[in-house]
Chain A
Amino acid sequence: MSEKLKVPTMAEYMAEGKQPEILFWVGSAGSYDDRAKKISRAFVKVLHKANVDFAVLGTEESNTGDVAKRAGNEFLFQMQAMTNIEILNAYEIKRIVTACPHSYNTLKNEYPQLGGVYEVLHHTQFIEELMSSGRLKLKSDSTLNGKRITFHDPCYLGRANEVYEAPRNLLKSLGVDLVEMKRNRSTALCCGAGGAQMFKEPEKGDKDINVLRTEDALKTNPSIIATGCPYCNTMMTDGVKAKERESDIKVFDIVEIIANSEEL
Chain B
Amino acid sequence: MQFIPNILFAIALILGIGFFAKNVKKLIRNIKLGQDVDVSDNKSQRWKNMTMIALGQSKMVKRPIAGVLHVIVYVGFVIINIEVLEIIIDGLFGTHRLFSKMGTLYGVLIGTFEVLAALVFVSVVIFWVRRNVIKLQRFWKSEMKGWPKNDGNFILYFEMVLMTLFLVMNATDVHFQDMNSGNVISQYIAPLFSGLAESTLHIIERSAWWLHILGILVFLNYLYYSKHLHILLAFPNTYYGKVNPKGQLNNLEAVTNEVKMMMDPNADPFAAPEEGAEDEVPAKFGASDVQDLNWVQLLNAYTCTECGRCTSECPANQTGKKLSPRKIMMDTRDRLEEVGKNIDANGGEFKDDGKQLLGDYISTEELWACTTCNACTEACPVSIDPLSIIIEMRRYLVMEQSAAPMELNNMMTNIENNGAPWPYNQMDRLNWANEE
The stretch of B27-35, B210-218, B241-249, B291-299 in contact with A is B241-249
Contact B371 A82, beta carbon cutoff 8 Å: no
Chain B: which residue is nearest A36 at the CB level? B432
A61 CB to nearest B CB, Å: 6
Q: Looking at the assembled complex, report how far the CB atom of B75 sits from the nearest CB atom of chain A, in whole angstroms.
A: 26
Considering only CB atoms, which chain B residue lies closest to A157 in the complex? B247
**A205: Cβ under 8 A from any B Cβ:** yes
Does B370 contact A201, Cβ atoms closer than 8 Å? no
Interface string of A189-218 (1 = CB under 8 A from B): 110111111111111111111001100000
B256 touching A78 by the CB < 8 A rule?
Answer: yes
Q: In the assembly, what is the distance between CA of A20 and CA of B413, in Å?
A: 33
Interface size on A, residues (CB 8 A): 75
Query: Is B56 close to A, CB under 8 A?
Result: no
| Shortest distance between the CB of A160 and any CB in chain B (Å) | 3
Known: A159-B246, A203-B365, A212-B315. A74 touches B399 (CB 8 A): yes
Q: Give the contacting residue for B407; candidates A7, A28, A82, A201; CB below 8 A.
A: A201
The answer to whether A190 touches B322, judged by C-beta atoms less than 8 angstroms apart, is: no
Q: Which of A32, A33, A74, A110 counts the most B-chain CB atoms under 10 A from its CB?
A: A74
> In the complex, how many angstroms separate the beta carbon of A31 from the nearest chain B beta carbon?
5
Residues of chain A within 8 A of B434, CB atoms compared = 2, 4-5
For A70, give its contact among B244, B365, B372, B430 (CB under 8 Å).
B372
Q: For A58, give its contact among B313, B391, B405, B430 (CB under 8 Å).
A: B430
User: CB within 8 A of B315: which of A7, A161, A192?
Assistant: A192
Residues of A within 8 A of B375 (CB): 155, 159, 187, 189-190
A264 within 8 A of B: no
B353-377, CB under 8 A of A: which get 1 and which 0? 0000000000001001111111100
Q: In the complex, what distance in Å separates the CA atom of A211 from the CA atom of B240?
A: 37
* Contact partners of B426 in chain A: CB under 8 A: 59, 62
Check A194 against B373 for contact (C-beta < 8 Å). yes
Q: Contacts A32-B420, A67-B415, A75-B399: A203 and B316 contacting too (C-beta < 8 A)?
A: yes
Interface positions, chain B 205-263, Cβ under 8 Å from A, are: 244-249, 251-252, 255-256, 258-260, 262-263
Chain A residue contacts of B251, Cβ below 8 A: 110, 113-114
Pick the contact of B369: A26, A40, A73, A202 (CB < 8 A). Answer: A202
CA distance A206 to B316 in the complex (A): 10
Q: Which residue of A lies closest to B375 (CB)?
A: A190
* Docked CA distance A219–B248 (Å): 32
Is A7's CB under 8 angstroms from B433's CB?
yes
Does the CB pair A190–B371 fall under 8 Å?
yes
A window 47-106: CB within 8 A of B: 56, 58-59, 61-63, 65, 67-76, 78-80, 82-83, 105
B contact face: mostly helix, strand, loop, or mixed:
helix
A212 — which chain B residues lie within 8 A by C-beta?
A: 315, 318-319
Query: Given B316, B319, B420, which contacts A28 in the complex, CB threshold below 8 Å?
Result: B420
Which residues of chain B come closer than 8 Å to A56, judged between CB atoms?
430
> A72 and B394 in contact (CB under 8 A), knowing A31-B429, A162-B245?
yes
* B322 surroundings in chain A (CB, below 8 A): 203-204
Set of chain A residues within 8 Å of B368, measured between Cβ atoms: 200, 203
B419 touches A109 (CB 8 A): no
CB-CB < 8 A to B422: which residues of A? Answer: 28, 32-33
On whether the beta carbons of A71 and B432 are closer than 8 Å, the reply is no
**A30 in the interface (beta carbon within 8 A):** yes
Tell me which residues across on chain A come within 8 A of B396, comparing CB atoms.
72
- Asked whether any CB of chain B lies closer than 8 Å to the CB of A258, the reply is no
A198 (CB) vs chain B CBs: closest residue: B421
State A187–B314 Cα separation when bound (angstroms).
10
Q: Mask for B250-287, Cβ within 8 A of A = 1, else 0?
A: 01100110111011000000000000000000000110
Q: A80-B415, A194-B371 are in contact. Are A200 and B263 (CB under 8 A)?
A: no
CB distance from B61 to the nearest CB of A (A): 14
Min distance, Cβ A58 to any Cβ of chain B, angstroms:
4
**B321 contacts chain A at the CB level, 8 A cutoff:** yes
Q: Does A15 contact B (CB under 8 A)?
A: no
Within the complex, which residue of B259, B407, B429 is in contact with A32, where a contact is CB–CB below 8 Å?
Answer: B429
Per-position binary interface string of chain A over residues 133-176, scored 1 when its CB falls under 8 Å from any chain B CB and 0 otherwise: 00000000000000000000001100111100000000000000
Contact B316 A199 (CB under 8 A): no
Question: Does residue B329 face the partner (Cβ distance < 8 Å to A)?
Answer: no
Q: List 27 A-B contacts (CB under 8 A).
A: A2-B436, A9-B430, A26-B432, A28-B419, A31-B430, A31-B431, A32-B420, A32-B424, A62-B420, A63-B419, A71-B408, A72-B286, A72-B394, A73-B398, A74-B285, A76-B412, A78-B256, A109-B244, A113-B251, A114-B251, A160-B247, A187-B378, A194-B373, A200-B405, A203-B322, A203-B369, A206-B320
Knowing that A65-B415, A201-B407, A203-B321 are A-B contacts, what are 17 other residue pairs whose CB atoms are under 8 Å apart, sorted by A's residue number? Answer: A32-B422, A56-B430, A59-B426, A62-B420, A71-B412, A72-B391, A74-B285, A79-B262, A110-B248, A155-B247, A187-B313, A187-B378, A194-B371, A195-B371, A195-B372, A199-B411, A205-B321
Report A's interface with B, CB cutoff 8 A: 1-5, 7, 9, 26, 28, 30-33, 37, 40-41, 44, 56, 58-59, 61-63, 65, 67-76, 78-80, 82-83, 105, 108-110, 113-114, 155-156, 159-162, 186-187, 189-190, 192-209, 212-213
List 3 A-B pairs, minimum CB-CB distance, nearest first: A160-B247, A72-B394, A195-B372
